[in-house]
Structure 1
């Protein structure tokens, strides 16, 4: 059962109901009046997994610019939007880190279970064909899906602002290979300043999950599965630390 826990917590990110058949614009993080959009919702750990304090997601302003404030305190949480379809273009957003992970029991380290915390992250989940997943991982995922009753994602790409490590860095989540990441900002990145990002999600998936794409594919990006969910996250439960950051203007750009 312990091997299933890292997969099972992703079950809470999925909701019931049919997915859209045609790509739709991503819902904005904020409404026109500056309030948080109800098209996004908070998801934390399932209660049966852990009784963790929630990461806080709050609409606000910093330097007179509207955004979503993300605050952790030995906590875990995600801000989730159901979006389905092939990546229509680049995923773009602005973010800033005001307070990196600090004051904890141990240092953050994205490559270790004890330090697997991120002050900010933007993740994209994919409807990855199960037959592309290696046998052992596929078996674990099937069991986790059966236990949770949810169609757990077989592949997730996360873009991370890493408080402690170097950037850029590509890696695999220490709990599960179903989640792979790219740290875009690292320990030497400037704080308290907005930074813009623009990522070719299909290309990044083809790079991070190259070992699970059809062999001999002439255009790997053409074999990238559909997106199912986009989320913002931050966690500091492993290190028992604190952090504060902001995310704004998350959208698909043609």
Structure 2
């Protein structure tokens, strides 16, 4: 029985770690050391500040062993620098450590564009758990608040990697098939929830689509069932794209990511505002 259990849990844990965008030890050390943001402080280094093709520090590339890496490159497109993200039978994440309090003022804004969708992607299955464009937010939720089973899996992931794998992740997805506004639990782990912000090709395929999210509202919708009144800090953001399960290809672009918050704001009596859809520019 023990042998059968290990053959199931270890491969699952390995992909679970990947689904949670497991970063290098150095990146996690930055997460723990990163100071809390001051009022309305810009906390994510802009891609447009890159001097070459590599995303500026503290952005760090992370992946899994024996995976073809997804390519992340800062390029000049017209008057702006943007991040080009190309997944080709590959897996990879670009992670930025930070520490921002989660409250009513915490917002995340960016613009993105998908030129090529991963054709056979299916967010509802493990075999199809790929995507051309995801923007994920990691939260430092106390592990002791999780169920015994979830704590066990989280502890296994942390022990296997030797890293402080984040306890919660919320990913914003641009998908080809799922309807706009769809909320999903990741096929590999309860620790990751997904929200489909855009679906299918944009009306103007050459235009970037703008997004602005109230993170507390989205967090409550995604993790309110387990979080209750707990408001964990935001400890990282990540751009992700993968096509390793489907052996497909995806191509997307991201502009600078704007994460802001006020340390003094409280959310007692907070009421969820209506969700806001993205708008083309």
Q: TM-score, normalized by length of structure 1?
A: 0.87
- Residues 61-95 of structure 1 show CA distances to partners (whole Å, capped at 9, x for unaligned) of 33443200111111111111111121452100010
1:177 equivalenced with 2:186 (yes/no): no
- 1:121–1:233 contact (8 Å) kept in structure 2: yes
| Alpha-carbon offset, residue 208 of structure 1 | 0.4
Return the alpha-carbon distance in structure 1 between the equivalents of residues 49 and 100 of structure 2: 23
Partner of 2:74: 59
1:12 equivalenced with 2:12 (yes/no): no
Q: Secondary structure at the match of 1:228?
A: strand
| Alpha-carbon offset, residue 192 of structure 1 | 2.8
- Structure 1: runs of 5+ lacking an equivalent: 218-222
- Residues 82-136 of structure 1 show CA distances to partners (whole Å, capped at 9, x for unaligned) of 111214521000101112223xxxx211111011111101101011111222221
**Change in 2 beyond 3 A, CA 1:69/1:11:** closer
Residue 92 of structure 1: which of 102, 109, 113 is its match?
Answer: 109
- Residues 142-177 of structure 1 show CA distances to partners (whole Å, capped at 9, x for unaligned) of 122222221111100000111232212110000001
Partner of 2:164: 151
Q: How many residues are matched? A: 239
Residue 61 of structure 2: which of 8, 24, 42 is its match?
Answer: 42
Partner of 2:275: none
Partner of 1:194: 208
1:210 equivalenced with 2:217 (yes/no): no
Higher strand share: 1
Partner of 2:257: 250
- Structure 2: runs of 5+ lacking an equivalent: 1-9, 262-281
Partner of 2:89: 74
| Alpha-carbon offset, residue 184 of structure 1 | 0.4
Partner of 2:44: 26
Return the alpha-carbon distance in structure 2 between the equivalents of residues 21 and 69 of structure 1: 29
Return the alpha-carbon distance in structure 1 between the equivalents of residues 50 and 166 of structure 2: 32
* Higher mean C-alpha displacement, 139-148 vs 14-23: 14-23
Return the alpha-carbon distance in structure 1 between the equivalents of residues 67 and 35 of structure 2: 35
Q: TM-score, normalized by length of structure 2?
A: 0.79
| Alpha-carbon offset, residue 43 of structure 1 | 0.9
CA RMSD in angstroms comes to 1.9
* Higher mean C-alpha displacement, 108-117 vs 244-253: 244-253
Partner of 2:155: 142
| Alpha-carbon offset, residue 22 of structure 1 | 2.3
Higher helix share: 2
- Residues 206-230 of structure 1 show CA distances to partners (whole Å, capped at 9, x for unaligned) of 110111023xx5xxxxx32011111
